[in-house]
Structure 1
Amino acid sequence: MSTTPVPPPGGPPPPGRRQRLRAWWADRHALPQFGYWLLSRGTVALGVCAALYVLNGVLIGWGDAYDVLIGITSPSAVRPQWCAWPLSLTGWAAIPAIVGGSAGYVITRQIQAHHARELSDVVDELRRLAEHPAPPAPPGGGE
């Protein structure tokens, strides 16, 4: 006789892939601000950039799409132009804004992590140092 393992009675079944994915997506609010932005809005922005690049790669060629994206070739020099102009604007404005904003956020977080003093403490100390010192005491004890 073979014995097959019997699951313990009354317990819920283990979560499936769909439930784990749903729980992971619900927990995204617990991420740091940059991680949350990257998952919520950053993927949308990068997805739009990627979709424009793929559309232009199919319509005008991959090399020309790359050249238009990074600004080597003008969008008016390729055909069709209707899809090259949004790609050019994306490469000129959106991608540098995304990269610059991301780098700025990461650098700011690193700087803030290394601050040891509050700004109000620093301002109070600067005000104390800016005040005129009291005149020195007369020599001889003042008798």
Structure 2
Amino acid sequence: MSSAPAPPPGGPPPPGRRQRLRARWADRHALPRFGYWLLSRGVVVLTTCGALYVLNGFLIGWANAYNVLTGITSPEAVRPQWCAWPLSLTGWAAIPAIIGAAAGHVITEQIQAHHARELSDVLDELRRLAEQPGSPPSSGGGS
């Protein structure tokens, strides 16, 4: 007669790898906007860019694929052109947009981190200081 194993004395067993991954994926909404975009839609964009590069690498050669992606070589100069044009457009539009978005996000985060007080609070304090009696005498020259 076999009996079921007794549960561990410390409570329920720790969650497995699959449960931890599922919980982390559910927590992606707590990320900043750029981090959330990178995990949700950015993966699709970057995967598409990578797939285009790999496809072109096999079809037109790796050096040509790099040159078309960076705009050094025109897609008309390589054969087959049908795969070089999307790669060229990706290198011209998508890659700079992603880099610009990342730079803009980093700059915005830095500005917000150094933005200590609201403008209305600063203006209220300046008005209060201007209305205080007994302001120091002017430094005009008169004896």
TM-score normalised per structure 1:
0.75
Does the alignment pair 1:107 with 2:70? Answer: no
Residue in 2 aligned with 1:33? Answer: 33
Whole-angstrom CA distance in 1 between matches of 2:26 and 2:70? 36
Cα drift, residue 48 of structure 1: 0.9
Cα drift, residue 14 of structure 1: 3.0
The letter of the residue matching 2:76 is S
Change (3 A) 1:114 1:15: same
Change (3 A) 1:126 1:67: farther
The letter of the residue matching 1:19 is Q
Root-mean-square deviation over aligned CA pairs: 2.7
Pick which of 113-122 and 8-17 moved more: 8-17
Change (3 A) 1:122 1:86: farther
Question: Please, which runs of 5 or more residues in structure 1 have no aligned partner?
Answer: 1-5, 128-143
Identical pairs, percent: 84
Whole-angstrom CA distance in 2 between matches of 1:36 and 1:57? 30
Whole-angstrom CA distance in 2 between matches of 1:122 and 1:79? 63
Whole-angstrom CA distance in 2 between matches of 1:126 and 1:59? 67
Whole-angstrom CA distance in 2 between matches of 1:117 and 1:22? 38
Could you say what secondary structure the match of 1:116 adopts? coil
Residue by residue, what CA displacement relative to the aligned partner does 1:4-28 show, whole Å, maximum 9, x if unpaired? Answer: xx75269544322211111110011
Cα drift, residue 113 of structure 1: 1.1
Cα drift, residue 118 of structure 1: 1.7
Whole-angstrom CA distance in 2 between matches of 1:78 and 1:118? 56
The letter of the residue matching 1:33 is R
Residue in 2 aligned with 1:80? Answer: 80
Change (3 A) 1:69 1:14: same
Change (3 A) 1:112 1:80: same
Change (3 A) 1:116 1:76: same
How many residues end up aligned between the 2 structures? 124
Whole-angstrom CA distance in 1 between matches of 2:115 and 2:10? 53
Cα drift, residue 64 of structure 1: 0.5
Residue by residue, what CA displacement relative to the aligned partner does 1:41-95 show, whole Å, maximum 9, x if unpaired? Answer: 2111111111110111111111100000000100000011011000000001110
Does the alignment pair 1:55 with 2:64? Answer: no
Whole-angstrom CA distance in 2 between matches of 1:47 and 1:115? 36
**Aligned counterparts, 1:10-29, within 5 A:** 11-29=11-29
